[in-house]
Amino acid sequence: MGMRLYVGNIPFNTTEQDLQELFGTAGQVASVNVVRDMATGRARGFAFVEMASEADAQKAIAQLHERDFGGRNLTVNEAKPRPERSGGFGGGGGGNRNREPRW
- Residue 37 belongs to domain with CATH number: 3.30.70.330
Specify if 88 maps to a domain. Answer: no
Q: Is 27 left (phi over 0), alpha (psi -120 to 50) or beta?
A: left
More confident residue, 78 or 101: 78
For the entire predicted model, the pTM comes to 0.78
**pLDDT, position 63:** 97
Percent of the chain topping pLDDT 70: 82
In a domain, 99, yes or no: no
For the chain, the domain total comes to 1
Stretch 21-43: mean pLDDT, rounded?
94
Residue 20 placed within a domain = yes
User: What percentage of the chain's residues is helix, strand, coil (to nearest 5)?
Assistant: 20, 30, 50
The pLDDT score that the predictor gives to residue 16 is 96
Angle of the 54-64 helix axis to the 16-24 helix axis, nearest 10: 100
Q: Kindly state the DSSP code that residue 96 receives in the 8-state scheme.
A: -
* pLDDT recorded at residue 103: 65
Q: Which domain holds residue 22?
A: 3-78
Whose CA is closest to 64, among 43, 52, 78, 45?
78
Asked if the model's pLDDT at residue 100 lies above 90, the reply is no
User: Would residue 60 count as lying in a domain?
Assistant: yes
